[in-house]
């Protein structure tokens, strides 16, 4: 008799795979990456390549040394490298970019057990590590080519500064302002957002609630114009679309995810408005990453036919 497979159901599968999801995230990040290279020039490309390569190589070597199953094929290291690069200033020395990436991959992801096991977002933690270690080169947003400005201050530094020359809203939307490589071109980020929605990789709730909370609070405290600038400036859109939606470090249930996004918005606004720091997106997501398991617990629902 022929060999028949004995197994429990289901006997068909949706065809979804981790790798395909990661590939979709990479594709969704490409518009922002391309925009970054156009705006900031070829040096931006070197930062991106450095981060992606060091992410893949460090994960590969970690698995090799720790004798773990090779995992670079799932493309998640590429996502982390790419995301981190888009969060860095074009002025960052390449060795610093590489160091931050290795930190993100090895200390934040691999030692916790690899994909799916890390409690904090590797790209954000890598960025925060670099911000603290090398504040001058990482935080200072470089200005795009062809934009004349006396200083390299980002719009977030300038909002509220008397007599400061802010970029126009259109410039802000297209990315012609100071900032990290991938965070300035809102148009490119929205294209990526639309793609992720279309592919059903993420749902709209987290980005919309996150950005919406910041907008509303800024509107209340600073008026309409300020609110629009707050939304377009800094890393808010990049963070809300690509980092606050990271599966592993956000809650697993829909309701907890909404609460997560609300918390991100509140903390981002609080940091931007009340603290000395110009930017709060990274810190807010990190804080909420830690709260994620509790959010799941607090929003637990009674299953149908359960108690």
Partner 1 sequence: MSLKKSISNLKLPHYKSTAGMAAVRMPIPKEVLIPLSPMNAHHATQSEPIVQVGDHVTVGQMIAREKDRGASHIHASVSGTVTGIEPYTMGSGSGTAIRIESDGKMEKCPDLKIPHPTNLDEFLQCVRDSGVVGLGGAAYPVWAKLSAAQKTHISTVLVNGAECEPFITADHRVMLEQGDLIQKGIELLKEFMGSEEFIIGIEENKPDAIAQLTERFKDDKAVKIMPLSSVYPQGAKQVLLYNATGKVVEKGQRLASLGVIIINVSSLVKMAEYFVTGMPMVERIITVDGSAVKEPKNLIVPIGCSVRDVVEACGGLKEEPGKILFGGAMMGKTQESMDARIMKATNAVVIMNKKDTKKTAPSPCIHCGRCVAVCPLGLNPTAFARAMELEDDAARAALLQKEQVKVCMQCGCCSYVCPAHRPLAENNNAGIGFLRKWEKEHPEGGKN
Nearer to partner 1, 145 or 200 (CB): 200
Nearer to partner 1, 89 or 245 (CB): 245
Smallest distance from the beta carbon of 120 to partner 1, in angstroms?
A: 13
By CB neighbour count within 10 A (0-12 exposed, 13-18 middle, 19+ buried), where does 146 fall? exposed
Contact positions vs partner 1 (CB under 8 A): 1-2, 4-14, 16-18, 20-21, 74, 76, 113-117, 247-254, 257, 301-307
Nearer to partner 1, 252 or 277 (CB): 252
CA 227, 182, 272, 210 torsion-angle sign: positive
Say how far apart CA 263 and CA 42 lie, in whole Å.
37
Smallest distance from the beta carbon of 89 to partner 1, in angstroms?
A: 30
DSSP-derived secondary structure for 103-164:
IIIIIIIGGGTSTTT-SS-HHHHHHHHHHHH-HHHHHSPBPPTT---SS---HHHHTT-TT-
Nearer to partner 1, 150 or 304 (CB): 304
Nearer to partner 1, 214 or 292 (CB): 292
Spell out the residues 6+ positions from residue 189 whose beta carbon is closer than 8 angstroms to its own. Answer: 31, 32, 182, 183, 237, 238, 241, 242
Smallest distance from the beta carbon of 201 to partner 1, in angstroms?
A: 9
Q: How many residues does the chain have?
A: 307
Smallest distance from the beta carbon of 209 to partner 1, in angstroms?
A: 16
Tokens of 100: 């931050």
Smallest distance from the beta carbon of 303 to partner 1, in angstroms?
A: 4
């Amino acid at each position: 008799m022929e060999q028949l497979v004995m197994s429990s159901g289901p006997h068909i599968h949706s065809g979804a795979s981790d790798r395909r999801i990661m590939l979709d995230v990479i594709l969704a990040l490409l518009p922002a990456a391309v925009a970054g290279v156009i705006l900031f020039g070829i040096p931006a490309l070197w930062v991106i390549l450095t981060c992606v390569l060091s992410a893949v190589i460090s994960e590969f070597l970690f698995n090799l040394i720790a004798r773990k199953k090779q995992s670079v094929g799932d493309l998640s290291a590429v996502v982390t490298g790419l995301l981190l690069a888009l969060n860095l200033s074009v002025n960052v020395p390449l060795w610093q970019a590489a160091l931050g990436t290795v930190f993100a991959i090895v200390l934040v992801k691999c030692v916790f057990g690899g994909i799916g096991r890390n409690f904090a977002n590797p790209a954000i933690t890598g960025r925060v590590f670099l911000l603290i270690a090398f504040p001058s080169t990482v935080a200072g947003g470089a200005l795009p080519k062809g934009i004349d400005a006396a200083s390299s201050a980002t719009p977030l530094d300038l909002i509220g500064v008397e007599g400061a020359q802010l970029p126009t809203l259109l410039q802000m939307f297209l990315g012609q302002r100071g900032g990290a490589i991938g965070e300035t071109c809102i148009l490119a980020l929205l294209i990526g957002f639309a793609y992720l929605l279309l592919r059903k990789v993420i749902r709209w709730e987290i980005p919309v609630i996150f950005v919406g909370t910041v907008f509303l609070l800024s509107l209340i405290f600073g008026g309409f114009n300020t609110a629009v600038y707050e939304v377009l400036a800094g890393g808010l859109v990049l963070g809300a679309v690509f980092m606050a939606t990271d599966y592993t470090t956000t809650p697993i249930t829909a309701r907890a995810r909404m609460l997560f996004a609300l918390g991100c918005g509140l903390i981002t606004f609080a940091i931007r408005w009340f603290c000395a720091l110009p930017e709060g997106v990274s810190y807010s997501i990190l804080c909420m990453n830690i709260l994620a398991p509790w959010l799941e617990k607090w929003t637990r629902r009674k299953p149908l036919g359960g108690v």
